[in-house]
Amino acid sequence: MKRALGVCYYPEHWPEDRWPDDATRMAQAGISWVRIGEFAWSRMEPAPDRLEWDWLDRAIATLGAAGLKVVLGTPTATPPRWMLDRHPDMLAVDAQGRPRKFGSRRHYCFSHLGYREESRRITRLMAERYGANPHVAAWQTDNEYSCHDTTLSYSDAARRGFRDWLAQKYQSPAALNRAWGNVFWSMEYADWAEIDPPNLTVTDPNHAHGLDYRRYASDMVVAFNRVQVDEIRRHSAAPIAHNYMFRVTDFDHFKVGADLDIASWDSYPLGFLSDRTEVDDSFKRDFLRQGHPDNQAFHHDLYRAVGRGRWWIMEQQPGPVNWAPWNAAPLPGMCRLWAWEAFAHGAEVVSYFRWRQAPFAQEQMHAGLLRPDSAPAPALAEVAQVARELAQMPKAGTARADIGLVFDYESAWAWTVQPQGRDFDYFRLAFAAYRACRRAGLNVDIIPPDCADLSHWPLVLAPGLMTLSPPLRAALAAYQGRALIGPRSDTKTPDLSIPVPLGPNIPGLDVTISLAESLPPIAAEPLARGGRFLSWFEHLEGAAPVLERTVGGRPAIMGGAHLRYLAGWPDDPTFDRILRGMAAEAGLTTHDLPEGLRLRDSATHRFVFNYAPDPQVWQGVTIAPAGVHWQPL
Ligand code: GAL
């Protein structure tokens, strides 16, 4: 597999006479891909049906002439102002019933069928014009679905769409009433037209209602994306990607990804640490300029799964961003480290956002590879270094892993609708399991929730799964490796009620959850072998052997050689102890990595990354802060 570098470029932001020089400089830096177009609708179609493609023709020709391959983005994340006159009701509406107005981006509701047709129209026009263009070597649909909290909308269009979706799913209001349990609080419906989105209710709406609304909203993203994919495929053989985000669980990425050829994501490590990661201030200080050592890796592994092996970084942070509470500059070397870490996880392309810092508008404080005056910004030299290293690097093989971690978007929705404890967060639980693997130097594959064969991985983790899909349940029953299931796994039916018999119901694992407690941070459940459960603790019964107990004598882990159930949410040291014990049983080698040092193996190489603010030693090799080391396996 050939690895490559890319950059995001906005020809419409710059005078045309600058394009050739920009293209030449990109190529000179060793960049081979350039993504354009994704916000340029007002220049493609300045007035309704007045199409202006000449500038885009020339931009693509100029970039192509410099040897660059173009990723062409559809511009549907930024419909122009006139679109609102055509479709005054196309705006998304927030949970308080307020429209999310024009003046930034993503001002559309996924349920609005008129806007969906506009999106089809502009995509069709682009695909007709550029589908056979030799320089257009990939496509991107829209930009960052769900960014700025835009998956869930409570518009009139969403209300209508939801009723239709429910009618298809349940066929009769009586069936819906049964599935949701609407006899409770006299919530029974006689007609689809009586059902509203689950916002602005007096207290909690029915949790099943909330979960179905999230399923519906996710399906609307899938449908919106599919329309674009269908139009592009009619005219182009180039692969199609979407650029996903950090820690966004509002739609099922596996379902969107099933329609695409490549998964890509936008990686802003310093912004993520500053405002979207649960760590204390001293950690934030130590990692201010490097980012969290596991945040990027998790998403690399997640999107490798979403892309069924094919994935890119579509946007890589090049310097300070503009959108986090505080926006520090990366430590020298990090723009290189982040790229190498992505390649070690199997990325095909790492593309930086953006080429030149714009002196105007919302993102004027966001760095690029060039400063606004076109002088090189610090990251440009690091990009050129990565390009030189890639040229010398022999084939480094695809990412490989010993641990499979099941990740399920529906479970994220279920526990958002029904957290039961204030701090119960599905992503955080899955990420806690992932971080324990990383601290032990173990490589992880993320597995979709309908995985039917687990035999590839000696160790499988399945925390927080609302319900097990039939294929996964069967795969677990047949599994000969070591699986740690729970906490809070297989405790609901697909309708989000409590199953009878009580869960988990996994053949070969005689364990039942008799009661579940959530625990405030001031209370923890100590374990007899050391460590503790935080936030969540389930009381287990059944005939399976008790492998570990709490100090109070309750089962903490039950099961046998292959399948085990974990009764609570372990704190980090406890996760380390449990995971390392099972890894040893599975014959896996674990490591004691200093904080900030991380490993990743490909089929042929071991990569070592130093995220720490000071030098670290790995098997006799001193690795500087922001340093990367690799050795053949
Ligand atoms: C991403 C987005 C880009 C740009 C960037 C700034 O979320 O896709 O368009 O806004 O963030 O960091």
pLDDT digit string (tens) for 85-138?
999 999 999 999 999 999 999 999 999 999 999 999 999 999 999 999 999 999
At residue 396, the pLDDT reads 64
Which tens digits make up the pLDDT trace of 343-369? 999 999 999 999 999 999 999 999 999
CA 139 and chain centroid, separation: 19
Q: What residue's CA is closest to ligand 1, atom 9?
A: 143
Query: CB of 248 within 8 A of CB of 426?
Result: no
Note the residue count of the chain.
633
Q: Is 315 in the pocket of ligand 1 (CB under 6 A)?
A: yes
Burial of 392 (0-12, 13-18, 19+ CB in 10 A): exposed
Which tens digits make up the pLDDT trace of 43-97? 999 999 999 999 999 999 999 999 999 999 999 999 999 999 999 999 999 999 9
Average pLDDT score, the chain: 97
Query: CB of 116 within 8 A of CB of 83?
Result: no
Which tens digits make up the pLDDT trace of 151-161? 999 999 999 99
Is residue 231 annotated as part of the catalytic site, yes or no? no
User: Does the pLDDT of residue 337 top 80, yes or no?
Assistant: yes
Q: How far is the CA of 311 from the centre of ligand 1 (A)?
A: 18
Position in ligand 1 atom list of the atom nearest CA 362:
10
What's the sign of the alpha-carbon dihedral 226, 231, 236, 241?
negative
Is residue 585 annotated as part of the catalytic site, yes or no? no
H or E segment and range at residue 59: helix 54-65
**Can you tell me whether residue 573 is helix, strand or coil?**
helix
Q: How far is the CA of 321 from the centre of ligand 1 (A)?
A: 9
- CA distances in angstroms from 222 to 127, 226, 331, 473, listed in the order given: 20, 6, 38, 26
Report the alpha-carbon distance of residue 52 to residue 64 in Å, rounded: 20
Spatial CA neighbour of 607 closest among 399, 314, 352:
399
Question: Which tokens in the block code for residue 254?
Answer: 């596996």
User: Does the pLDDT of residue 1 top 80, yes or no?
Assistant: no
User: Does the pLDDT of residue 229 top 80, yes or no?
Assistant: yes
pTM of the complete model: 0.98
Q: How far is the CA of 73 from the centre of ligand 1 (A)?
A: 14
Which range (1-10, 113-122, 360-369, 464-473) has the least confidence?
Answer: 1-10
Q: How far is the CA of 43 from the centre of ligand 1 (A)?
A: 19
Contacts of 274 (CB under 8 A, 6+ apart): 284, 288, 324, 325, 326, 327, 328
User: Does the pLDDT of residue 225 top 70, yes or no?
Assistant: yes
H or E segment and range at residue 180: helix 173-180
Position in ligand 1 atom list of the atom nearest CA 38:
9
